[in-house]
Structure 1
Amino acid sequence: MGRLGADFWRLWSAAVVSRLGGGVASAGLPLLAASLTRDPRQVALVSVFAGLPWLLLALHTGALADRWDRRRTMWLCDLASALVMAGLALGVLVGAASLWVLCAAAFAAASISTLFDSAGQAALPSLVARDQLPAANSRLYTGTVLAGLFVGPPVGSWLFVAHPAVPFAVDAVSFVGSAALVFAIRSRFRAPESSGTGLTREIGDGVRWLWRHRRLRSLVVLLTVWNLTETAVLGVLVLYALERLQVPPSAYGLLLTGVAVGGVLGAAAAPRAERWMGTGPLIVVTVALTVLADVGLALTRSAVVAGLLLGVVGVAAFAFNVVSSSYRQSVVPDLLQGRVSSAYRFATWGIAPVGAALGGVVAAGAGLPAVFWGAAAVLAVAGLATARELLPARLAVDTPS
């Protein structure tokens, strides 16, 4: 396996800069929502709007990513995201940031992200060799976790206390930096020529290819349920921290560093762990760890214990992300990379608004711990249902069947 090229490291730097700003804003957004209302259903509404674009737009933006120059698409998306975050910062500064403004900003930012992420996922296999994908994804996830979850949220919490507009201004600046770095990439990532059959037909080609691939189909089912439970938890996590754990707002981001530390460890260790135990068994282990962590979060009232358990969640989630993304990128033809990736994310991320809404409803009706108990139970069932299909021998088969 050779060295990763300069263009990969430009892409890596862009992702890290962008995720640093996103991590700062990720702490500011729920804190701003919680400052407007303590109703868990309304707080979770911001997460609902952030998830809707993956349900409404992901299939179309994935097809566009297979039509357009992926490099140009990414830096234009970065500039558009910078405008959205700058607008939100201005709204907070002048006192016009209502809950619905937050929802609109979350929807707009996520809509742009559906196109950026599809283009970025499709571009990576053009930058590195197939056998380098696990290492490349490991470095990408490690860098973005450090920036977006370890550094960003604590800084974002502190900046929010200093002034609520600052986290969003910082995010806007980070998008400009990311755009400059993507623009500097020499490769153009121009997608193969379109078949000319129309956008709807091209979307259908990607969806059908994904559905016929049994291993990827099983991963879609598992990750869809996983994200359903995760977004249910994330939708009320700020209230869980403030009310059940009694964490002050300035320390909310610090609590999230547990996810960051675990995420770095999981992403860094994933390639070696995959070689040691195989892709399928590693996926099963990540699911089991997440179920156990959710049970622990339901039981504890200690911020320290919760931080450690969130670390376990981070280990599992990012180890899974590295191995599953590498597997998907290695088996999908370049012509279909954007469409298959978007179809995959349409299901797995499109479920996010449902999960966020469920989390708010369950927390309002049965209390915050019930969200974690429900997440553990549902994910355990999904893990058992898909475990047989995700055996190493089955994952080694890389053509639709």
Structure 2
Amino acid sequence: MALKITVIGTGYLGATHAAAMAELGFEVLGLDVVPEKIELLASGRVPMYEPGLEELLARHVEGIEGSSGRLRFTTSWEEVGAFGDVHFVCVNTPQKHGEYACDMSYVDAAFSSLSGVVREGALVVGKSTVPVGSAQRLAGLLPEGVELAWNPEFLREGFAVQDTLHPDRIVVGVTEGAGGERAEKLLRTVYAVPVAEGSPFVVTDYPTAELVKTSANSFLATKISFINAMAEVCEAAGGDVAKLAEAIGHDERIGNKFLRAGIGFGGGCLPKDIRAFMARAGELGADQALTFLREIDSINMRRRASMVEMAREALGGGFLGKRVAVLGATFKPDSDDVRDSPALNVAGQIHLQGGQVTVYDPKGMANARRLFPTLGYADSVAEAVRGADVVLHLTEWREFRDAVDPAELAELVSSPVILDGRNALDPQRWREAGWSYRAMGRPRA
């Protein structure tokens, strides 16, 4: 009999996972406690921007013409319990207000509700990013005869569909003994297609599986903050951080990914995860092992302040009465996510200090308006820069790099000054069009 899969929590992770499981050929039932979200997904639409996700949903959501009909959504726990052989828990674990630790209340609530309806012999699979030690505790909430596995997610916003269907690794944490062996076998069945394509399938214990995601994000955050620290040194010494990154990136032990200096990382994962990791290490008595992450976090936040100061200097020492155009609102391109966005943080700081800030972003405008309603917003790059005394490039959308004509924009601004907070634009192209170009960690000319 073919496995039936449920996905509990239909946010960014859950909606993507549910659609991908249907794409892999399984009957899937997604659950959320927010009826409006379920109604939206049931119509084949998603509450966020993620390339390819709506198209994937439309291929499988029941009731949409031409779909496979393998994917449905519900708010009923009883329906989920009766339906599922494998239950994926994909709910959010945000940072606690005023603390570094993550908020486990949504995960705990999901496990408590599921435990009352899950069938004996079913497998529960945790995908949420949780503090190490959580899986063992959560297993105790499930009834006898129900096994728990931990299967962390490694999605990159903008590439979530690809990362789910063609993962670079599949990590599965299970218990020792027959229960763990059965869990591994079931998950090998679930992921049979990507495994056959060559995705590594790594089997570990619970703690190791829980540590993989936070360890990976901590390493990436470290690499980003390292090159940003080098940018600070380059600015002091007159070096070029872009050439420095190119040179060290040729070393195969280092590699060139995540070595672009700029205003740093943001979003709903990296900042939250490294802080929660530090908090959990402290609870375990291993806080000294992760003290370096405090400096990583500090470097990252410092880069935002550095961009504000760079803009102040470009405007002659103050923002009052000056028009500032900000290109980008999301924390990264190919996403509408503005959570902990460095771009919006910089825009907000400048606004609070008297600047007249106008923001344009290809996909993040609605979310940015909700978060920062007092900023100005434009419907195009041209509208955003019109009359600007300085232009800040803060999210590296392809539109800003490839589709914008610097010469045309130079005719619209009050002063052709651009500050590249992502080191993603071509300095020569902008300078030849008459712009004063400056980027973090690079020579002024």
Shorter-chain TM-score bucket reads: under 0.3
Higher strand share: 2
Between 1 and 2, higher relative CO (CA 8 Å, sep ≥ 6) is seen in 1
For normalisation by structure 2, the TM-score amounts to 0.22
For normalisation by structure 1, the TM-score amounts to 0.24
Which protein has the larger Cα radius of gyration, Structure 1 or Structure 2? 2
